[in-house]
Structure 1
């Protein structure tokens, strides 16, 4: 069965329908601006003096900022003893290869996982991940930040530092994390979109399966970015 195609129209008709869509797109942009403004007005919660594990040993949460005032953490799902971890988390964090631009905004973005630091760093290297990783193994930090152990979920948290005091300012999970990625917005402008069953599509549009059907596996990420892939420095 042939894949369905959008209807073919003349340029004037196409421009008219694009202009109608643009009204909604601009409204969505303004709404996102308003949401960001509300986010900037959220109160915050002071945190205890957590200690995590980094590549060089124990490190206080306040020191993970490395002198900056703002910190974003992506909490990578982790199954103890598994050879391959969550494909979604692995693929999601694989896209962040150039984070130096955050220096101009007094911020860092790092990965935190419940995995033991040695295992976590070995997995980072195997998959060619370019981010800085920290472990909350043996600490309540992950669970307290709504990312519990044993595959309990992924999350994004944002923190603000004032001297040695650290405050939690924002959290999201699920599809809320999509605002941090370029991948889904890029796929969403394609005629066929994500090709997932939940999406509202015209009759005959290809739909390959449930949410995440096209994400690929952790092994796919390792083949693309890991040792021997040609993507290493």
Structure 2
């Protein structure tokens, strides 16, 4: 019989496990209610009117108001882009390749698209290379990206817009770890016993831990798994 050398949670009786789970559930439900309250405050945010931006899409120039299609609401992921890079940001690449079926969102009157600083031909080539299923647009010839918190060679962002006729309003913005709630990946990882396995997280002694981001799939791995040449 071999003995595992990996760190393991303590083994207890079913009754003790149920008791500990119930105690945790109290905190989990409190977080859910707090998130509901935050979402309610978000729905009450004011908004600000946007200029009539023109971006580049797969079929040529397109006004920001036209990107909404038939929907009144639009979520934009501003994908980091570095000119001349063979592989773009693995975080952005991994985050956006999660979203392959967006009909459910459209039923609520919204589109979800990617906007990047890269030239549209390069952006579309990268989309195919990594197997991304979302619609991509370029702000290379527009100040749109810089105006919504994603300037050239800088960070990523999520922005939300509301359209009233041909007038577009910006209603919400986040960046950094604010995007985590939009991803199913971290939600799944966080219910695992070992969690994200990153050194900044509080974990029991002996738990596997590695530098931040080191376990994230690389852009090359994503392309190999989902891209046009897989």
Fold-level similarity (TM above 0.5):
yes
Structure 1 equivalent of residue 226 of structure 2? 225
Aligned to 2:124: 121
| Partners of 1:198 and 1:2 in 2: CA distance | 23
Runs of 4+ in structure 1 over 3 Å off: none
Equivalent residue, structure 2, for 1:93: 96
- The residue that corresponds to 1:202 in the other structure is 204
Q: Say if 2:129 and 2:229, in contact at 8 Å, map to a contact too.
A: no
1:158 is matched with which residue? 160
Superposition CA RMSD, Å: 0.9
CA drift of 1:2 comes to 2.3
Cα deviations by residue, 1:7-32 (Å, 9 ceiling, x for unpaired): 11001111001000000000000000
Q: Distance in 1 between matches of 2:93 and 2:25?
A: 34
Partner of 1:56: 59
The 1-side partners of 2:117 and 2:94 are apart by: 18
Cross-structure match for 1:186? 188
Secondary structure (helix, strand or coil) at the match of 1:166 reads strand
Q: Which runs of 5+ in 2 are unaligned?
A: none
* Per-residue deviation, residues 133-178 of structure 1 (Å, max 9, x unmatched): 000002110000000101x001000000000000000000011001
Aligned to 2:214: 213
Alpha-carbon distance, 1:228 to partner: 3.7
After TM superposition, give the deviation of residue 41 of structure 1 in Å.
0.2
Q: What is the DSSP-based 3-state SS (H/G/I as helix, E as strand, rest coil) of the residue aligned with 1:66?
A: coil
Partners of 1:37 and 1:61 in 2: CA distance:
27
Superposed, which structure 2 residues align to 1:132-151 within 5 Å?
132-150=135-153
Structure 1, unaligned runs of 5 or more: none
**Distance of 1:6 and 1:82 partners within structure 2:** 43
CA distance in 2, matches of 1:192, 1:90: 24
In structure 2, how many angstroms separate the alpha carbons of the residues matched to 1:65 and 1:112?
Answer: 13
Task: Give the TM-score, by structure 2 length.
Answer: 0.97
CA distance in 1, matches of 2:205, 2:127: 42
Residue aligning to 1:108: 111
Q: Equivalents in 2 of 1:96, 1:55: separation in Å?
A: 19
User: C-alpha deviations, 1:86-143, integer Å up to 9, x for none?
Assistant: 0110011011000111221110000000000000000001111000000000211000
Deviation at 1:213, TM superposition (A): 1.4
